Structure 1
Amino acid sequence: MTAAPPSATDVLIVGAGIAGASLAAALAPWRRVMLIEAEDVPGYHATGRSAAFWHETYGGARVQPLSMASFDTLACPAPEFSERGFLFPRTALTIGHRSEAGAVDGFTAQFQARGVEVVRMGAADVAAKIPGVRAEWSEAAFEAACSDIDVGALHAAYLRAAKRAGAHVATGTPLQSARRMGDGWDVQVGGQAIRAALIVNAAGAWADRVAAACGVAPVGIQPYRRTVIQLRLGVPVPAQLPLVIHIGGEFYFKGESEGRVWLSPHDETAVDPHDAAPEEIDVAVAIDRLQTVVDWPIAAVERKWAGLRSFAPDRIPVFGADRHESGFIWCAGQGGVGIQTAPAIAALLSAQLGATLPGGAIGAVDPMPFAPSRFA
């Protein structure tokens, strides 16, 4: 546990993963902020295990405005925030079996109508971009504007910025209970009592449990286990292989280094919040699915891990004041897009809590579709 928290704060943010850290950095210049984390290391469960990328169409059309608006911050951050950007260019192919041509057509048309640069491709193009692809995987939508995200550097930059602006960050400090009293909250955190004007629930997989500890009704945040493995191949697949995502949601893979790929079976196994670990069946399923797509001999499974992705019932992020308790703020349910949408969500939510709303693409995003009031 870090140094004892102060006895009072304007905003208590629960959870120091990417959601809580980015919000703390955005809000600390404007309000007294305390950021608490139950684990000894911020971002232990989801942020620190993310094989994240910036992929504008990932998460669907409703999430796309948040991803698009976050791009500039990720690519060209302010010098005082980071001396370099957090994106490393790749490309992306959303691919389908020949029987899925209609689905790829629909995907392409949907995002082209939203101004996203998506190019419909056929069998020859797919074969040129994925060496060893099997002939029946002939349908694809190509996006040049896809990048890997340096998650560790981004998360660390947000934590540094929050502390530099005066936020108190405490690890090993779980929220135990909170009671609404007058115009604020009496809170027990890490065995100590503090007073907070507002509570922000950025607890990821534990978000509904944090709400219950505060006497607030849950919104239905469900954690799901996601598995990723690193394979060493018996063929020299290039490190800059595109991010390849199945239109039907059964796999994604990308180049990691020469002759190595990161692969996921795109699994979503509903679980209680816990320290997730990969299941051997999911590793086997991932490899089996890959081998139906490409003719690559596998030399070894070099790494395997699992993390938790948490979704609201409608599978889009939820941020803003609770519909019944205005002093309780949600910042949860980011699913697999929490890293690539963090700049926009943090800026939009901090503006609701007293900060100045930035202009540009972030200021143009309507936050209302993501408000907790949408849940009846």
Structure 2
Amino acid sequence: MPDIIVIGGGMAGVSAAAALAADAEVLLLEAEPGTGQHSTARSAAIFIRNYGNAALRALNDRAAGFFEAPDIDVEAPLLTPRGELLLATGEELDLLEEYAAGSAGLERLSAVEAERMVPILKPGHFAGAVLEPEARDIDVDAMLQGFLRQFRARGGQLRCKAPVSALSREAGLWQIVAGGETHAAPVVVNAAGAWAGEIARMAGAQPIPIQPCRRSAAVLPAPEGHELGLWPLFGSIAETWYAKPMGGQLMVSPADADPVPPQDAWPDDMVLAEGLYRYEGAVTVPVTRMVSSWAGLRSFAPDKTPVCGFDSEAEGFFWLAGQGGHGIQTAPALAELTAALVAGRAASIDDGSLGALSPVRFA
């Protein structure tokens, strides 16, 4: 019998399971045929240290050490140079100032300097910009596979095609029916992503509303005559669109966050069209065709801060949910925190951030 059952085989669940397996017998349950098939596979795949609120930035700072020197088996660095360029029109300069005031390591650029960096920007459209030069691309698949290898090397067991259909606690153990099998363990970790709220309801845990929100993207051909390799991720400070070079093409997102039920997400054509229209208004190259499009889910707690800790009502029920769009880059820090809290060790994060992450805040 395992000591811990982790529900959810995305980046959060896999990384947490690997960390927990260092000290315990761990079973990882995933509903799909393989791991990382939902939000993990549809990430913008970039580490931005200044991304998110104070608690998220504390996690980013903690995760930075892992990304610089991963303790998992990977064949190449997980991070490669990219940079993030945030752009403001004259009416948006206050937003730019607000973002810069709470950030570190930024460089202020004039509109002309930004246009030199991304030469398809419409001359005169923007009034200012900030650059985070240390923002870097993440090799998400290499990271996920590295955590899976570590999990298995530590004796962890993985069951795919195992959606949870029943969850109850009896005689100090969680009884979980998943994929036609029944499993039992004293501790269950809810890392079910968009389905985290449903898992909590099954367990009779706190009714924390974890809301999945759709984020869409279109892949466009590279603008003719331009080499995208050195371009940063660039986008509106008002979060109405952003674009990122990917594999010699350009991924453009309307930066949508439309609430939807837990699902295998697909892009909404109208939302995508509106976002591409906003992007077109900022650049000199018209959108003539899409190579492909996709959508993923970003799941949020009401305060847009992840939920990490033991439930206040259901004994042995641990929350690891609500990462929003920060799940890949915070996964190493949240996995480390999960392992510490489950084992009863001191957390490697400040008390203020620990309280901000705890599910007790919703009790």
Residue ranges of structure 2 left out of the alignment (5+ in a row): none
**Aligned pair count?**
360
TM-score of the superposed pair, with normalisation by structure 2: 0.95
User: Are 1:368 and 2:355 counterparts?
Assistant: yes
User: Are 1:238 and 2:228 counterparts?
Assistant: yes
Partner residue, 1:183: 172
Partner residue, 1:4: none
Partner residue, 1:279: 268
The answer as to whether partners of 2:217 and 2:294 remain within 8 angstroms in 1 is: yes
Paired with 2:292 and 2:266, the residues of 1 have a C-alpha distance of 12
Partner residue, 1:90: 82
- Map residues 62-77 of structure 1 onto 2, 5 A cutoff: 62-77=55-70
CA RMSD of aligned residues (A): 1.7
Paired with 2:176 and 2:118, the residues of 1 have a C-alpha distance of 54
SS of 1:301's equivalent? Answer: coil
Paired with 1:29 and 1:241, the residues of 2 have a C-alpha distance of 40
Q: Which amino acid aligns with 2:143?
A: L
Residue ranges of structure 1 left out of the alignment (5+ in a row): 1-7
Paired with 1:277 and 1:185, the residues of 2 have a C-alpha distance of 34
- Aligned-residue offset at 1:355: 7.7
The answer as to whether partners of 1:183 and 1:197 remain within 8 angstroms in 2 is: yes
- Map residues 237-276 of structure 1 onto 2, 5 A cutoff: 237-258=227-248, 260-276=249-265
The answer as to whether partners of 1:179 and 1:185 remain within 8 angstroms in 2 is: yes
Aligned with 1:216 (options 202, 205, 208): 205
Paired with 1:209 and 1:38, the residues of 2 have a C-alpha distance of 13
- Map residues 1-376 of structure 1 onto 2, 5 A cutoff: 8-78=1-71, 81-111=73-103, 116-134=104-122, 135-232=124-221, 233-258=223-248, 260-354=249-343, 363=349, 366-376=353-363
The answer as to whether partners of 2:45 and 2:138 remain within 8 angstroms in 1 is: yes
What is the CA deviation profile of residues 188-231 of structure 1, one whole-angstrom value per residue up to 9, with x for unaligned ones? 22222222111110000000111112222320000011101110
Stretch of structure 1 that moved more, 67-76 or 300-309: 67-76
Paired with 1:33 and 1:77, the residues of 2 have a C-alpha distance of 21
- Aligned-residue offset at 1:253: 0.6
SS of 2:133's equivalent? Answer: strand
Paired with 2:272 and 2:61, the residues of 1 have a C-alpha distance of 32
TM-score of the superposed pair, with normalisation by structure 1: 0.91
Identity %: 34
- Aligned-residue offset at 1:356: 6.1
What is the CA deviation profile of residues 123-181 of structure 1, one whole-angstrom value per residue up to 9, with x for unaligned ones? 22212212131212121111111011111111111111111101110000111112112
Stretch of structure 1 that moved more, 323-332 or 333-342: 323-332
Paired with 2:225 and 2:30, the residues of 1 have a C-alpha distance of 43
Paired with 1:119 and 1:90, the residues of 2 have a C-alpha distance of 14
Q: Which amino acid aligns with 1:246?
A: S
The answer as to whether partners of 2:6 and 2:28 remain within 8 angstroms in 1 is: yes
Q: Which amino acid aligns with 1:123?
A: A
- Aligned-residue offset at 1:94: 1.4
- Residue 313 and residue 57 in structure 1: after superposition, are their counterparts in 2 closer, same or farther (change >3 A)? same
Stretch of structure 1 that moved more, 267-276 or 249-258: 249-258
